[in-house]
């Protein structure tokens, strides 16, 4: 009711302009018998459904998608849908899925999957029950948009250091903070400036915007606690949730950062520099070490590679606080389930929709969306395995429009997909990434490291996936949580953001006082309440999986 009042006038304007009407129509069937289904992709882009892969998908399923997508960063499309009770046939609502479910806009796909979804059940296998919404409401409203299973063939670890520094230490891997610190300081002492005369920076990070979570917040849980990625939360063996900055070990990690700041190892501009400044420093080759993740710093590395400075790019490290802590980088956390594709109550043909989704989950469908068309985008060798020509690989790696033009990889996300390294009955991987392709694409620095370490893959020096148990709950960052929890969580994160910066730059003698003050402010802002709420959510997920 509140939403309707808020958006009522706006809806009338939009409807008059033709911007919101049109979702609810009779099933559109073309002369060739093709059913057109509307699809809203909250994380998507324009998809005219005219590429070769899309055409084959329609040929195989009898379905053509008409895709809509956000046009602004502060997009309110889902809220408007709910207010008007006007929905597309299928939807990927990303973080707004819970609102749609609360509004009764999503259908329970359980019976449809049972009758028409054998490939869906096969893909999710032992994790199928995780798709259910809750123990109280065991409906299946979404098929996860994240990969099922897979192997870690590449990983940037819990921290990174330049290959140049590793080479000067005979490729010795710093496993602990103490070893990491020593290697950085030794390299800075030997190379106080770059070849261009710029001062060397020991560690840099960026905390002036949301990237604080990636470079300042996240590493503390990985390194200090050996905890997997559950956002800002730690989950113990009894499934109790803790806001991670309450942890004594995490506190010690920030004490270490505080010392690095005062000893001139940590970039003094870490709290104020923009993300662009941060990337520029990385691209200059000045920064010896990072506490980041590859997708966040890769733009800087691309410039280094283009400039021929491969030794200034980064080796991912299995860094931990001490010898008793294990870096969790290769831990498989199970299937993330909070975000996915679902069918709405407005769907004109739910059977056609579920059959379409089931085809995407089939071996044939997975090969089509990931590899493309046989004889065009890939070929079959004498052993029956798929392969791409070098020309095709180069085109995929250099032409930014390759995916849009060919359709290869363009229709995989946010639909269900197998993870990297998962193989079909022929022994070929569902995705184009495989152990062989990763090794073949290593640069000279990476090849030299593998030879020095006596391994095939760089990640072979990490604690392996088999050393970790798969949690009985989905990663917390991806699970659906009530609005009340998110409101408290956002407030806690705002406090932690400024509070951690204050702790890192405070005088060493004042660190504990600053940290205690941050914790007191967090406690007064609902930290314990949020911990109790999340504990219930996690335990509910565990109950569903058993």
Average pLDDT, the chain: 93
Place of tokens 């940037």: 156
Could you tell me the pLDDT band of residue 394, with boundaries at 50, 70 and 90?
Answer: confident
User: What's the length of the chain?
Assistant: 546
Strand partners, 160: 290, 316
Cβ atoms 203, 269 nearer than 8 A: no
Place of tokens 């499934």: 239
**Half-sphere exposure of residue 76, counting CA atoms within 13 Å on the CB side?**
11
Could you tell me the pLDDT band of residue 22, with boundaries at 50, 70 and 90?
Answer: low
How confident is the model over 113-136, as a mean pLDDT?
Answer: 95
How confident is the model over 529-536, as a mean pLDDT?
Answer: 98
506/482 Cα distance (integer angstroms): 36
The DSSP 8-state label assigned to residue 76 in this structure reads -
How confident is the model over 34-42, as a mean pLDDT?
Answer: 97
Q: Which two tokens stand for residue 80?
A: 């408007």
Lowest pLDDT segment from 172-181, 367-376, 385-394, 512-521: 385-394
pLDDT digits (tens, 9 = 90+) for 321-380: 999 999 999 999 999 998 999 999 999 999 999 999 999 999 999 999 999 999 999 999
Strand partners, 92: 41, 341
Distances (CA, A) of 181 to 278, 298, 362: 20, 23, 49
380/512 Cα distance (integer angstroms): 62
527: pLDDT strictly greater than 80:
yes
How confident is the model over 423-436, as a mean pLDDT?
Answer: 93
25: pLDDT strictly greater than 90:
no
Lowest pLDDT segment from 33-47, 173-187, 283-297: 33-47
**Half-sphere exposure of residue 306, counting CA atoms within 13 Å on the CB side?**
8
Q: Tell me, what's the pLDDT at 26? A: 54
Q: Tell me, what's the pLDDT at 441? A: 87
pLDDT digits (tens, 9 = 90+) for 232-282: 999 999 999 999 999 999 999 999 999 999 999 999 999 999 999 999 999
pLDDT digits (tens, 9 = 90+) for 446-490: 999 999 999 999 999 999 999 999 999 999 988 888 889 999 999
Q: Tell me, what's the pLDDT at 74? A: 61
pLDDT digits (tens, 9 = 90+) for 196-215: 999 999 999 999 999 999 99
Could you tell me the pLDDT band of residue 398, with boundaries at 50, 70 and 90?
Answer: confident
Q: Tell me, what's the pLDDT at 16? A: 36
14: pLDDT strictly greater than 60:
no
Which of 211, 218, 193 has the alpha carbon at shortest distance from 271? 211
Q: Tell me, what's the pLDDT at 397? A: 79
Strand, coil or helix: 449? helix
How confident is the model over 48-61, as a mean pLDDT?
Answer: 98
pTM, two decimal places: 0.84
Q: Tell me, what's the pLDDT at 8? A: 39
> Quick one: what percent of the chain has pLDDT higher than 90?
84
DSSP string of 221-244, one letter each residue: IIIII-----TTEEE-TT--EEEG
**Position with higher pLDDT, 12 vs 488:** 488
Determine phi and psi for 327, rounding to 5 degrees: -65, 130
Q: Are strands 287-290 and 201-204 parallel, antiparallel or unpaired?
A: parallel
User: Domains along the chain?
Assistant: 2-150+337-406 (3.40.190.10), 159-328 (3.40.190.10)
Cβ atoms 342, 109 nearer than 8 A: yes
17: pLDDT strictly greater than 80:
no
Lowest pLDDT segment from 26-30, 115-119, 123-127, 316-320: 26-30
531/267 Cα distance (integer angstroms): 33
């Amino acid at each position: 009711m509140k939403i309707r009042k808020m958006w009522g006038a706006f809806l009338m304007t939009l409807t008059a302009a033709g911007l919101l009407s049109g979702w609810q129509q009779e099933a559109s069937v073309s002369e060739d018998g093709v059913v057109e289904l509307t699809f809203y992709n909250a994380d998507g882009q324009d998809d005219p459904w005219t590429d070769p892969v899309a055409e084959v998908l329609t040929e195989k399923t009898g379905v053509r998608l008409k895709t809509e997508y956000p046009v602004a960063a502060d997009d309110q499309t889902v809220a408007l849908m709910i207010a008007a009770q006007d929905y597309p046939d299928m939807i990927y609502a990303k973080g707004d899925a819970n609102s749609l479910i609360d509004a009764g806009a999503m259908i329970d796909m359980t019976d449809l999957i049972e009758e028409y979804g054998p490939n869906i059940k096969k893909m999710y296998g032992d994790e199928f029950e995780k798709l259910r919404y809750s123990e109280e409401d065991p409906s299946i409203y979404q098929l996860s948009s994240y990969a099922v299973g897979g192997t870690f063939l590449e990983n940037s670890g819990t921290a990174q250091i330049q290959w140049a520094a590793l080479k000067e230490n005979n490729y010795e891997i710093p496993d602990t903070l103490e070893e990491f610190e020593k290697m950085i300081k030794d390299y800075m002492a030997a190379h106080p400036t770059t070849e261009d005369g710029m001062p060397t920076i020991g560690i840099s990070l960026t905390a002036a915007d949301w990237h604080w979570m990636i470079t300042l917040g996240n590493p503390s849980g990985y390194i200090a606690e050996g905890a997997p990625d559950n956002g800002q939360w730690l989950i113990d063996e009894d499934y109790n949730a803790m806001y991670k900055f309450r942890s004594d070990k995490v506190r010690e990690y920030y004490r270490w950062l505080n010392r690095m700041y005062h000893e001139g190892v940590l970039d003094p501009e870490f709290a104020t520099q923009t993300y662009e400044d941060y990337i520029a420093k990385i691209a200059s080759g000045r920064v010896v070490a990072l506490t980041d993740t590859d997708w966040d710093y890769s733009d800087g590395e691309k410039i280094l590679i283009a400039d021929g400075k491969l030794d200034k790019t980064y080796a991912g490290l299995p860094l931990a606080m001490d010898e008793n802590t294990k870096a969790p980088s290769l831990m498989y956390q199970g299937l993330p389930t909070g975000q996915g594709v679902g069918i709405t109550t407005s769907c004109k043909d739910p059977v056609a929709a579920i059959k379409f989704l089931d085809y995407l989950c089939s071996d044939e469908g997975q090969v089509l969306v990931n590899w493309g068309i046989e004889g065009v985008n890939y070929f079959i060798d004498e052993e029956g395995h798929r392969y791409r020509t070098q020309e095709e690989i180069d085109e995929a790696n250099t032409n930014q429009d390759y995916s849009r033009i060919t359709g290869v990889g363009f229709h995989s996300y946010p639909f269900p997909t197998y993870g990297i390294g998962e193989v079909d009955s022929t022994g070929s991987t569902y995705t184009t990434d495989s152990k062989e392709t990763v090794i073949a694409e290593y640069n000279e620095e990476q090849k030299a490291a593998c030879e020095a370490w006596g391994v095939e893959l760089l990640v072979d020096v990490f604690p392996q996936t088999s050393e970790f148990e798969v949690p009985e709950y989905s990663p917390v960052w991806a699970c659906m949580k009530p609005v009340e929890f998110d409101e408290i969580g956002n407030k806690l994160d705002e406090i932690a953001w400024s509070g951690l910066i204050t702790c890192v730059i405070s005088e060493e003698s004042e660190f504990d006082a600053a940290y205690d003050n941050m914790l007191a402010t967090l406690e007064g802002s609902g930290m314990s309440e949020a911990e109790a709420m999340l504990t219930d959510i996690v335990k509910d997920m565990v109950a569903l999986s058993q």
